[in-house]
Amino acid sequence: MATGDGLLARLAPVGRRLSPPQLARIAALAAEHGNGLVEVTARGNLQIRGLTADSADPFAEEIEAVVDIQTGHNIDISPLAGLDPAEISDPRVVERAIRRLAAERGLAGRLAPKVSVVIDGSGSIGLGQLAADIRLTAEGQHWQIAIADRVVGTVPQDRAADHVVAVLEAIAGLGPEARGRDLGLAGPAMAPRGDEARFAYPLADGLTGLRIGLPFGSADSVQLEALAALPGIIAFLPAPGHALIALVSSVDAETIHKRIAALGFVAGADARNHIAACIGSAGCASGQFPARAIAAGLATAHPAFFDGSFTLHVSGCAKGCALPRKALLVLVGDGGDCRLVFDDRAGSGALLSFSRDGIEPAIARLETLWRDNRTLGESVAACFTRLGAARLVAALRQG
């Protein structure tokens, strides 16, 4: 895919697992053939940036010698599937059955590229943040099935794959661009489970999963090679939410956790957990400002403001790629200026606009507004919702 910093390659490893040598080799190839930046997407796929027309094919050949690449339909499950004691049902069984049936019925090429299936085993990592045309959620011996997040019923374990493939066939029957919502099925809206803010997951067989956040979803090859070289890590699992999960022995978890944090990754309470930022003008032709650099500066300057009650979305343009849903506060690049959006998406109407140099002072003024007006223990989100958009605008204009 062409981007502002060259070509971008996206890949998902089969089995959703990388050994430390595999991660190190992927990082080295990213530096050799691209610009050295590796991203983990919101869905837990890997992206390598800065490839060129000359380097893309050699990169593809070399990467396939390192790791098997998943092809076929977009099916998302927890990276901890099969290891998580909290899981009600193992989604891998249903995933394998769906892939087999879909191949038998020739669905490849008949569906829109973004048609997706989410299989949530109801374990420690919820998948509610992932958009889905079809969503299965484990409930005892049955799976709840939702189409375009409208609940349409429950299916037994041994019939779940058949039902999903039947829905995929119905979508394909509407045309190559159709999505689940085009089926027009009625049903109550579901409230998908979200992912808790956890950084260590107790697993089976004496293992612990350590969540490693890539700052704003990105790390360079040097960082990743250093991470892969840390002793005691058994494997890395690409995870939703721009993260990797390191599988380690539980007895070594605390030591390894400290070493991961020392490399600059997000491995605990951190303001960067609560800011979504695209690459912006540093790597996208549409980007109007360097979104990640701005986000990093705000996280450093105002850590207390990012209290976990809201997400700040820093978007290089109105497309809002880093967070395709509402956020309490959105900073959007707009030519040489910045637009501030309140409780909406990046492409929505702005409260007001100001110069790019005014971004940090604006956040400082909003933090002061919160501190001066909060009730005892009131979060930023609760305070700003109570005050309303007009009070925010007034405070910013006065500042």
Rounded to whole angstroms, how far apart are CA atoms 293 and 279?
A: 9
For the chain, what's the residue count? 399
Q: CA nearest 215: which of 256, 273, 269, 262?
A: 273
Sign of CA dihedral 245, 379, 332, 193: positive
Helix axes 160-173, 91-104, angle to 10 degrees: 40
Note the pLDDT of residue 192: 67
| CATH architecture assignment, domain 2-71+203-268 | Alpha-Beta Complex (3.90)
Note the pLDDT of residue 238: 97
Q: What is the CB-side half-sphere exposure of residue 64 using CA atoms within 13 A?
A: 8
Quote the tokens at residue 378: 């009131």
Q: For every residue of 19-38, which 3-state class applies, written as one string?
A: CHHHHHHHHHHHHHHCCCEE
Instruction: Say if 81-183 and 272-398 have the same CATH topology.
Output: yes
Quote the tokens at residue 396: 């910013």
Note the pLDDT of residue 324: 82
Note the pLDDT of residue 5: 84
C-alpha dihedral (219, 221, 224, 229), degrees to nearest 10: -160
How are strands ordered across the β-sheet holding 327-334?
275-277, 312-315, 327-334, 337-344, 352-355
Note the pLDDT of residue 327: 95
Contacts of 368 (CB under 8 A, 6+ apart): 395, 399
Give CATH for domain 272-398: 3.30.413.10
Contacts of 64 (CB under 8 A, 6+ apart): none
- Please name the amino acid found at residue 144: Q
Quote the tokens at residue 327: 């956020």
> Residue ranges of the domains in the chain?
2-71+203-268, 81-183, 272-398
Note the pLDDT of residue 263: 96
Give CATH for domain 81-183: 3.30.413.10
Rounded to whole angstroms, how far apart are CA atoms 6 and 51?
A: 5
3-state class (DSSP) for residue 275: strand
Per-residue pLDDT of the chain (399 residues; tens, 9 = 90+): 888 788 999 999 999 999 999 999 999 999 999 999 999 998 999 999 999 999 999 999 999 999 999 988 899 999 999 999 999 999 999 999 999 999 999 998 899 999 999 999 999 998 988 989 999 999 988 999 999 989 999 999 999 999 999 999 999 999 999 999 999 988 888 876 666 668 999 999 999 999 999 999 999 999 999 999 999 999 999 999 899 999 999 999 999 999 999 999 998 889 999 999 999 998 888 899 999 999 999 999 999 999 999 999 999 999 998 988 899 999 999 988 999 999 999 999 888 999 999 999 999 999 999 999 999 999 999 999 999 999 999 999 986
Rounded to whole angstroms, how far apart are CA atoms 132 and 149?
A: 7
For residue 120, list its beta bridge partners. 137
- 388 φ/ψ sector (left φ>0, alpha ψ -120 to 50, else beta): left
Quote the tokens at residue 328: 């309490």
